[in-house]
């Protein structure tokens, strides 16, 4: 059974998880936490990306061009054979058994039987060739359907994501707040809080470009704590941030976005870039 661990403990172990250096039980516990924690999932993805770069420090001199070409040849041959195995008819041929005529030396019956046999073999050959063609066509159609299914799946995922976003900003129980600051061309954001679904959807604009190693972090501020709702990196100043967090309607005091070190901080370490006080709308 997977043991429960808190956010801080899981967060601290993400670096080791990124290089797969956790013991099995701890690994299971951290993964279980991350599956329901947006912050940890984002952090883990970034740490895994960083860890993958360590691969570039390994020298490749041990594997020369000859080996490279040999492996390449084997790989492509396997792929080619793999592809053929989908479209080539089976090599198993049906057995054609001949039954000895019962009529002994009766020449006429033997001749007739021979003609029938030749005709039967010809018909059987035609049927088998036809069946092979049908099987090839069916295989191609199956592969085509699989590809279309994959495309359909990704489109379906995109549509679901869009629908989810729309639901998060247009629901009956959605409260709208605008996060702003002063200045010309100032950054601003709309926060859509669906109090029934506990979803938070923030659409930000004009966010200043971040320096390397920095990120924006969204905070839900209550009287007793500042709750991180995730980090984000704007694209051309724009960003959509989504989070799920259950918070009683009267507990929210403010929303704020701060600039933090990449990966986010347990608590805000800088003044808000944009903010709004709850109840000001």
In angstroms, the CA 110 to CA 100 distance is 10
State the minimum distance, in angstroms, from the CB of residue 247 to other proteins.
27
Sorted by sequence, the CB contacts under 8 Å of residue 31 that are 6+ apart come out as 17
Cross-strand partners of 200: 193, 243
Task: Candidates 3, 6, 8, 60: give the one binding other proteins (CB under 8 A).
Answer: 60
CA distances (Å), origin 13, targets 9, 24, 141, 193, 248: 6, 13, 47, 31, 30
Task: Candidates 1, 6, 20, 196: give the one binding other proteins (CB under 8 A).
Answer: 20
User: If we measure between CA atoms, which residue out of 189, 265, 260 comes closest to residue 226?
Assistant: 265
Please give the size of the binding site for other proteins, defined by CB under 8 A: 53
Q: Per rule CB under 8 A, is residue 138 in the interface with other proteins?
A: no
State the minimum distance, in angstroms, from the CB of residue 277 to other proteins.
32
State the minimum distance, in angstroms, from the CB of residue 34 to other proteins.
13
Task: Candidates 7, 48, 205, 253: give the one binding other proteins (CB under 8 A).
Answer: 48
Q: Per rule CB under 8 A, is residue 21 in the interface with other proteins?
A: yes
Q: Per rule CB under 8 A, is residue 61 in the interface with other proteins?
A: yes
Task: Candidates 2, 4, 76, 186: give the one binding other proteins (CB under 8 A).
Answer: 76
State the minimum distance, in angstroms, from the CB of residue 118 to other proteins.
42
Binding mask 144-183 for other proteins (x = CB under 8 A): ---x--x---------------------------------
Are 199 and 161 in contact, with CB atoms under 8 Å apart? no
Our CB check for other proteins shows the closer of 78 and 129 to be 78
Our CB check for other proteins shows the closer of 85 and 114 to be 85
Q: Which listed range, 172-180, 194-202, 244-252, 260-268, lies at the site for other proteins (CB under 8 A)?
A: 260-268
State the minimum distance, in angstroms, from the CB of residue 255 to other proteins.
26
CA distances (Å), origin 6, targets 15, 32, 33, 66, 109: 16, 11, 8, 51, 90
Q: Per rule CB under 8 A, is residue 123 in the interface with other proteins?
A: no
Q: Which residues bind other proteins (CB under 8 A)?
A: 12-16, 18-23, 45-65, 67-68, 70-72, 74-76, 78-80, 82-83, 143, 147, 150, 212-213, 261-263
């Amino acid at each position: 059974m997977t043991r429960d661990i808190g956010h801080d403990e899981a967060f601290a172990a993400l670096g080791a998880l990124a290089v797969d250096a956790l013991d099995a039980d701890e690994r299971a516990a951290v993964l279980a936490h991350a599956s329901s924690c947006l912050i940890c999932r984002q952090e883990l993805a970034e740490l895994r990306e960083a860890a993958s770069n360590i691969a570039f420090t390994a020298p490749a001199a041990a594997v020369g061009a000859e080996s490279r070409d040999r492996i390449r040849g084997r790989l492509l041959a396997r792929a080619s054979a793999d592809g053929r195995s989908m479209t080539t008819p089976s090599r198993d041929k049906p057995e054609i058994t001949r039954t000895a005529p019962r009529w002994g030396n009766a020449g006429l019956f033997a001749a007739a039987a021979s003609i029938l046999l030749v005709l039967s073999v010809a018909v059987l050959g035609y049927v088998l060739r036809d069946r092979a063609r049908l099987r090839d066509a069916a295989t191609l159609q199956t592969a085509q359907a699989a590809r279309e299914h994959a495309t359909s799946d990704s489109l379906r995922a995109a549509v679901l994501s869009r629908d989810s976003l729309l639901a998060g900003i247009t629901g009956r129980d959605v409260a709208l707040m605008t996060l702003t600051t002063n200045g010309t061309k100032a950054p601003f954001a709309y926060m859509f809080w669906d109090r029934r679904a506990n979803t938070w959807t923030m659409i930000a604009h004009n966010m200043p470009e971040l320096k390397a190693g920095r990120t924006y972090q969204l905070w839900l501020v209550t009287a007793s704590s500042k709750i991180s709702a995730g980090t984000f990196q704007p694209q051309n100043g724009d960003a959509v941030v989504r989070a799920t967090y259950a918070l009683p309607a009267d507990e929210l005091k403010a929303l704020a976005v701060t600039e933090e070190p990449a990966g986010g901080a347990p608590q805000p370490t800088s003044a808000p870039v944009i903010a709004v006080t709850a109840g000001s709308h």
